[in-house]
Amino acid sequence: MSARTDIVDEEGSDTKSSFKRNTPVAIKITKLDKSFRGNQVLRNLNMDVKPGETLVVIGKTGSGKSVLLRHIIGLEKPDSGEILINGMDVEDPEVRKKHRFAMVFQSSALFNSITVAENISLYLREHRVFQDENGIRQIVSNTLSIVGLEGKEDIMPSELSGGMKKRVAIARALAMNPDLILIDEPTSELDPMMARTIGDAILNLRKHVEVTQIVVTHDIDLAHYIADRIAVLDEGRIIEVGTPKEIDRSTNPIVRNFITTQFEREEGGTRL
Dihedral in degrees, nearest 10, Cα atoms 261, 265, 271, 272: 80
In whole angstroms, the minimum distance from the beta carbon of 101 to other proteins comes to: 6
Rounded to the nearest whole angstrom, what is the least distance from the CB of residue 105 to other proteins in the complex? 5
Sign of CA dihedral 152, 153, 159, 162: positive
Shortest distance, position 60 Cβ to other proteins, whole Å? 21
Residue 2 vs 107, nearer CB to other proteins: 107
CB of 63 to other proteins, least distance (A): 19
Nearer to other proteins, 126 or 267 (CB): 126
Give the nearer residue to other proteins in terms of CB position, either 101 or 225: 101
Q: Catalog residues that contact other proteins under the rule CB under 8 A.
A: 70, 73-75, 96, 100-103, 105-107, 109-111, 113, 122-123, 126-127, 176
Q: Which of 169/232 has CB closer to other proteins?
A: 169
Closer CB to other proteins, 169 or 247, in the complex: 169
Closer to other proteins by Cβ: residue 22 or 106: 106
Residue (of 130, 152, 150, 134) closest to 142 by Cα position: 150
Residue 197 beta carbon to other proteins: minimum distance, rounded to whole angstroms: 22
In contact, 65 and 230? CB cutoff 8 Å: no
In the complex, minimum distance from the CB of residue 252 to other proteins, in angstroms, rounded to a whole number? 33
